[in-house]
Structure 1
């Protein structure tokens, strides 16, 4: 009888452990998604800031890249895009 009770208890504990692992895995996935979305939003904001600086100031692209923590090549590309857009208008 005691052995059967012990086996039942172990089985219940195993299922609790499995369910807890699934819950923790889902929580990690959700947190990972939030962090990725936050990083994407932060990057988008940096790009918008760089565009605004390119449009509203005469700062060199090197300084804008440094201030916005963006790669210089990306700021140069943004400047080229904005130049093309203003030429169309």
Structure 2
């Protein structure tokens, strides 16, 4: 998919530009996340594809973002992190 390639190039380029300022740049791919838009039909269709036994929630992405923004994530930059619960 061209969009994924564009996001990758953008993330890596911006990370390289901002690294001297000690600013990290990352992208997150949360996969299918139930932020209120999923009908029960959609959830039932997707659920078998999640080996973790549940569909992703906004809190899952939020925890990853909080980690990346913390001091513990200071060495991670220029990455696309696929956080899909095994989807």
* TM-score (ref. length: structure 1): 0.27
* TM-score (ref. length: structure 2): 0.28
Larger strand proportion, structure 1 or 2? Answer: 2
